[in-house]
């Protein structure tokens, strides 16, 4: 029984570590999307080709961060499945039409990109909220396993 409990604690610890990693990656993507959003506003207000290029550089970085975050979220889902917790967290990686936006550089293309940035940012926020809720549930699960007096070995992971 003691070995099973220790195994459960270890599985919860692994799930929490994967969740924290996913949160860090999503937060990084969120920062880059926010930067792109502000550059997009500058672009809409007449920033020209330079603002479009800067915006798309930031969007490329955000897309790379989202791809990494997507992998980390999948890893988190796998770790959750190991402890019989089923959770689907959606992180959709969108493409942003760089060529059309820079070539045509008009308010319609700028606005379309802003809408995509807003949708991607909202999706990241929803994924972050879901993962944070799951992390709290995992902490409560860990506390149940810790009732026998063993030191809390999981909470430290959240303080990384």
Tens digit of pLDDT at every position of the chain (160 positions): 466 556 677 888 899 999 999 999 999 999 999 999 999 898 888 887 788 889 889 999 999 999 999 999 999 999 999 988 888 887 876 666 554 444 445 677 778 889 989 999 999 999 999 999 999 999 988 888 777 555 544 444 444 3
Question: Which pLDDT value is given to residue 10?
Answer: 85
Q: Which residues make Cβ contacts (< 8 Å) with residue 64, sequence separation at least 6?
A: none
Model confidence, pTM: 0.80
Question: Which pLDDT value is given to residue 68?
Answer: 95
Question: Which pLDDT value is given to residue 159?
Answer: 43
Task: Measure the CA–CA gap between 58 and 56, rounded to whole angstroms.
Answer: 5
Residue the block writes with tokens 């949160």:
23
């Amino acid at each position: 029984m003691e070995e099973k409990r220790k195994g459960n604690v270890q599985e919860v610890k692994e799930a929490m570590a994967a969740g924290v990693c996913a949160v860090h990656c999503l937060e990084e993507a969120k920062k880059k999307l926010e930067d792109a959003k502000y550059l997009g506003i500058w672009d809409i207000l007449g920033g020209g080709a330079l603002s479009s290029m800067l915006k798309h550089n930031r969007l490329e970085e955000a897309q790379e961060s989202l791809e990494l975050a997507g992998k980390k979220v999948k890893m988190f889902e796998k770790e959750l499945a190991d402890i019989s917790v089923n959770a689907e967290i959606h992180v959709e990686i969108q493409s942003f039409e760089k060529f059309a936006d820079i070539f045509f550089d008009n308010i319609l293309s700028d606005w379309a990109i802003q809408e995509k940035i807003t949708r991607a940012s909202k999706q990241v926020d929803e994924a972050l909220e879901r993962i944070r809720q799951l992390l709290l549930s995992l902490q409560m699960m860990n506390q149940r396993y810790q009732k026998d007096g063993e030191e809390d070995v999981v909470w430290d992971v959240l303080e990384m």
